[in-house]
């Protein structure tokens, strides 16, 4: 029988460390529920010591998720471990993931600790975490650049202290697959008690090797992969869950392991994460990109029509493409709307919220004939974004005019802390004019770092989802907006980002020195 490969999803923790990808508690709970539906074994729900908000998010995920283990990250310090222990208390199955850096450069320059001190701290941290749960994971941070003998020493001690999972992070994405595979081989061979723990791979994608490195680790004995939906994560991101899961499923001839992932939920998970974070999925992204199963060239199309396997190694339906594109329209009733939302895992806390969503659905159906699942998801996400209370700015109305040979003009009316104000601006394009009009009212001084619009479905009547990234004084936020009119969608996204800039974003970064 094939070994079980544990899928440990860290979208809500390492994924959230992407600049601008921070999520609210409600958003994290929505993603966690989808991860549970996807049947991931472990959900790393956050770093509870980062802030009160992060603590509450991990607590909320721990209390709603029943079928996956919920994990909290903690540096090897008392406050972090106690906080993580408290946050996962409500979980059916809870894990603490504690870590300390082991590479010479991190020990010397970041921790300013000797190797002996690091071993003592690791042992202490694992034992302390065991006071809260039997399920303790230990990571030697920057293992990919650590010395093998020292790595063996610290891991052996961590297992003796009670660690049940040993995670090997390639923190800076420096390793090549043959090296990373060899590292696992060496660790499993040389550490006398290696059979007492599950070994795990945690790879970053700085050189585009994250999935390849994780799979090389599996070939050499790793039985857990840490990954994120869409490969979200700091810098170039983490290993993409969809890539490693489909690789082991498709190449059973090479990988003698099984996951329990319900692969038909992969596309839904990808859309939800992209929707909530505003990080678009590139069209040619493996598995979840819009073109991943599209055959452009005539030769390919001919081959696929004659015999699918000529050019297709996976079924689009197996990862959740186009299995559930039930169409709703302006004549669909409240019941059909509610049923479809439930099937998509979208629930409302009150009847009032459902009624509001239904009104928005009807408004959309007046402008767009066929409403797909993607539209419903976008509609609900946009509603959550725009309805946030205690915001300083809201879009009241917008009027745009554009003509060939003339500079477009946009007049914007905003609600600003209880008062309405309007401004007219012209720009090189209509979006430029809209943003200038908003800026002339709010004078944020923020710098626009990224702007993108994606159509949610095919056709020119599609909802356009806009992402805006703003930077101010080193703080980066992403704003999202959705509308069939892209100027409105863009203005909503810009205002959403401005509101985020005004919130208290201070939280500790887990990899910063304690």
How many angstroms separate the CA atoms of 403 and 289, rounded? 35
Number of residues that bind ligand KIV (CB under 6 A): 9
Closest approach, Cβ 289 to ligand KIV, in A, equals 25
Closest approach, Cβ 65 to ligand KIV, in A, equals 21
At a CB cut-off of 8 Å and minimum separation 6, what does 341 contact? 347, 348, 357, 376, 380
Structure token digits, residue 460: 């020119």
Closest approach, Cβ 114 to ligand KIV, in A, equals 21
* Cβ distance to ligand KIV smaller for residue 139 or 496: 139
Is 139 one of the binding residues for ligand KIV (CB under 6 A)? yes
Of Zn ion, ligand KIV, none, which one sits near residue 99, judging by CB under 5 to 8 A according to partner kind?
ligand KIV
Structure token digits, residue 194: 């290696």
Sites for ligand KIV among residues 7-26 (CB under 6 A): 14
Q: How far is CA 281 from CA 126, 161, 215, 442, 462, in A?
A: 37, 42, 22, 31, 17
- β-bridge partners, 479: 468
- Residue 390: Cβ-neighbour burial (10 angstroms; 0-12, 13-18, 19+): exposed
Is 27 one of the binding residues for ligand KIV (CB under 6 A)? no
Is 171 one of the binding residues for ligand KIV (CB under 6 A)? yes
In SS3 terms, 183-207 reads as HHHHHHHHCCCHHHCEEEEEEECCC
DSSP 142: T
Is 224 one of the binding residues for ligand KIV (CB under 6 A)? no
Structure token digits, residue 85: 């222990």
Closest approach, Cβ 37 to ligand KIV, in A, equals 25
Is 9 one of the binding residues for Zn ion (CB under 5 A)? no
* Cβ distance to ligand KIV smaller for residue 108 or 458: 108
Is 231 one of the binding residues for ligand KIV (CB under 6 A)? no
Closest approach, Cβ 9 to Zn ion, in A, equals 13
Backbone angles phi, psi at 84, to 5 degrees: -65, -40
* Cβ distance to Zn ion smaller for residue 14 or 156: 14
In SS3 terms, 106-137 reads as HHHHHHCCCHHHHHHHHHHHHHHHHCCCCCEE
Is 106 one of the binding residues for ligand KIV (CB under 6 A)? no
How many angstroms separate the CA atoms of 485 and 399, rounded? 11
Is 490 one of the binding residues for ligand KIV (CB under 6 A)? no
Question: Which one of 8, 9, 12, 14 is in contact with Zn ion (CB under 5 A)?
Answer: 14
Sites for ligand KIV among residues 73-102 (CB under 6 A): 99
Question: Which one of 46, 94, 169, 481 is in contact with ligand KIV (CB under 6 A)?
Answer: 169
Closest approach, Cβ 314 to ligand KIV, in A, equals 29
How many angstroms separate the CA atoms of 135 and 18, rounded? 27
First vs last Cα of the chain: how many Å apart?
A: 44
How many angstroms separate the CA atoms of 292 and 399, rounded? 38
* Cβ distance to Zn ion smaller for residue 10 or 484: 10
Of Zn ion, ligand KIV, none, which one sits near residue 141, judging by CB under 5 to 8 A according to partner kind?
ligand KIV
Is 173 one of the binding residues for ligand KIV (CB under 6 A)? no
Find the residue with minimal CB distance to Zn ion: 14
Q: Which residue ranges make up the site for Zn ion (CB under 5 A)? A: 14
Q: Which residue ranges make up the site for ligand KIV (CB under 6 A)? A: 14, 99, 139, 141, 169, 171, 202, 204, 510
């Amino acid at each position: 029988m094939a070994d079980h490969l544990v899928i440990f999803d860290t979208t809500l923790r390492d994924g959230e460390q992407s600049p601008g990808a921070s999520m609210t508690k409600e958003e994290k709970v929505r993603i966690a529920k989808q991860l549970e539906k996807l049947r991931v074994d472990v959900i790393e729900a956050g770093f509870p010591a980062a802030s009160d908000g992060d603590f509450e998010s991990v607590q909320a995920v721990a209390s709603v998720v029943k079928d996956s283990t919920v994990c909290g990250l903690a540096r090897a310090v008392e406050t972090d471990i106690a906080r993580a222990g408290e946050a996962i208390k409500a979980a059916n199955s809870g894990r603490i993931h504690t870590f300390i850096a082991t590479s010479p450069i991190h020990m010397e320059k970041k921790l300013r600790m000797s190797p002996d001190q690091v071993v003592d701290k690791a042992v202490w941290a694992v034992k302390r975490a065991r006071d809260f749960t039997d399920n303790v994971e230990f990571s030697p941070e920057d293992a990919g650049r650590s010395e093998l003998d020292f790595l063996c020493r610290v891991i052996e001690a961590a297992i003796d202290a009670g660690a049940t999972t040993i995670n090997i992070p390639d923190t800076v994405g420096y390793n090549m697959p043959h090296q990373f595979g060899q590292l696992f081989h060496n660790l499993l061979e040389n550490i006398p008690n290696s059979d007492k723990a599950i070994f795990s791979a945690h790879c970053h994608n700085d050189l585009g090797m994250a999935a390849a490195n994780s799979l090389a680790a599996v070939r050499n004995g790793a039985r857990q992969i840490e990954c994120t939906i869409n490969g979200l994560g700091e810098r170039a991101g983490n290993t993409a869950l969809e890539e490693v899961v489909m690789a082991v499923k498709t190449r059973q001839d090479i990988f003698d392991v099984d996951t329990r992932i319900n692969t038909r939920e992969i596309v839904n998970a990808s859309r939800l994460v992209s929707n909530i974070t505003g990080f678009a999925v590139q069209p040619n992204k493996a598995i979840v990109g819009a073109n991943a199963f599209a055959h452009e060239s005539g030769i390919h199309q001919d081959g696929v029509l004659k015999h699918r396997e000529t050019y297709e190694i996976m079924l689009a339906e197996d990862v959740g493409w186009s299995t559930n594109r039930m169409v709703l329209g302006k004549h669909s009733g409240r019941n059909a709307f509610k049923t479809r939302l439930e099937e998509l895992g979208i629930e409302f806390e009150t009847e009032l919220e459902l009624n509001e969503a239904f009104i928005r659905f009807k408004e959309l159906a007046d402008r767009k004939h066929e409403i797909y699942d993607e539209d419903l998801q976008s509609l609900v996400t946009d509603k959550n974004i725009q309805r946030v209370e205690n915001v300083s700015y809201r879009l009241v109305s917008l009027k745009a005019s554009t003509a060939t040979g003339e500079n477009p003009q946009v007049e914007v009316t905003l609600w600003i802390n209880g008062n309405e104000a309007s401004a007219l601006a012209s720009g090189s394009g209509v979006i430029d004019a809209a943003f200038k009009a908003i800026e002339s009212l709010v004078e944020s001084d923020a710098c626009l770092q990224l702007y993108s619009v994606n159509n949610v479905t095919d056709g020119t009547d599609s909802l356009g989802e806009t992402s805006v990234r703003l930077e101010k004084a080193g703080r980066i936020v992403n704003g999202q907006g959705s509308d069939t009119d892209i100027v409105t969608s863009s203005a909503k996204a810009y205002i959403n980002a401005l509101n985020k800039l005004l919130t208290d974003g201070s939280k500790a970064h887990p990899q910063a020195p304690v």
